[in-house]
Chain A
Amino acid sequence: NAGVTQTPKFQVLKTGQSMTLQCAQDMNHEYMSWYRQDPGMGLRLIHYSVGAGITDQGEVPNGYNVSRSTTEDFPLRLLSAAPSQTSVYFCASSKGLVFETQYFGPGTRLLVL
């Protein structure tokens, strides 16, 4: 199993550009989530999904969209990038609800100029 994979690893965007961060898991996990990690702030939940076709907002959803058309994939879209979205983004998946182990991907480092 590859576990949780994320692409790209690094990305530089200009303000106003859009892009999609890809996340895929091959463990047949129902629960997937996106976090951003900023210095001194730990991980903050952006969006999460409890199954295909179901998504909900986390703590910091503004400026981001998600969809979950399959169990395996959970892409994160930045509609119009802003410098405040410079961060490291992590995707995670788990078998069920939060009592389960969260498996994290290696992260995407995004710089918005």
Chain B
Amino acid sequence: TQLLEQSPQFLSIQEGENLTVYCNSSSVFSSLQWYRQEPGEGPVLLVTVVTGGEVKKLKRLTFQFGDARKDSSLHITAAQPGDTGLYLCAGALIQGAQKLVFGQGTRLTINP
């Protein structure tokens, strides 16, 4: 059983479309991070959200932390082929805050 459930696990859309990836849990997190991973490389941090209800924007990417700090979403506007990759959410549990728990990942493909 995955503590952090990401959906969808696979997403293939056309360039220019919008998309949202979800990261859900029944547990409360002190912070939540989103990473992006390219083939053959390690994940790279995109953003950290720490306050319930927080919204952060990174160009065409919008990240939101749920009010109850149990879920998060990543929204991409006008997707581009360069957005293709594996997106991972990771949460620091309120208890045992020295560990990160990762979701299964969302493999995103943007077709030209």
Contacts and interface: CB of A to CB of B under 8 A. Distances in A.
Given A41-B2, A98-B97, 11 more contacts: A33-B100, A42-B6, A45-B99, A45-B100, A45-B101, A48-B98, A92-B42, A97-B98, A99-B50, A102-B33, A106-B41
Interface of B: 2, 4, 6, 9, 30-31, 33, 35, 40-45, 48, 50, 88, 90, 92, 97-105
Interface of A: 4, 31, 33, 35, 40-45, 48, 50, 56, 58-59, 90, 92, 97-99, 101-102, 104-107
A58 B99 contact: yes
Contacts of A90: 42-43
B98 A43 contact: no
14 contacts: A41-B104, A42-B88, A42-B104, A43-B43, A43-B102, A45-B101, A58-B99, A92-B42, A98-B31, A101-B45, A102-B43, A104-B44, A105-B42, A107-B42
A42 B4 CA distance: 10
B9 A40 contact: yes
A98 B99 contact: yes
B9 A98 contact: no
Contact of B92 (A33, A40, A99, A106): A99
Nearest to B91: A98
A101 B42 contact: no
A97 B99 CA distance: 8
A43 B50 contact: no
Given A98-B92, A99-B48, A104 B43 contact: yes
B41 A43 contact: no
Nearest to B45: A101
Contacts of A59: 99, 101
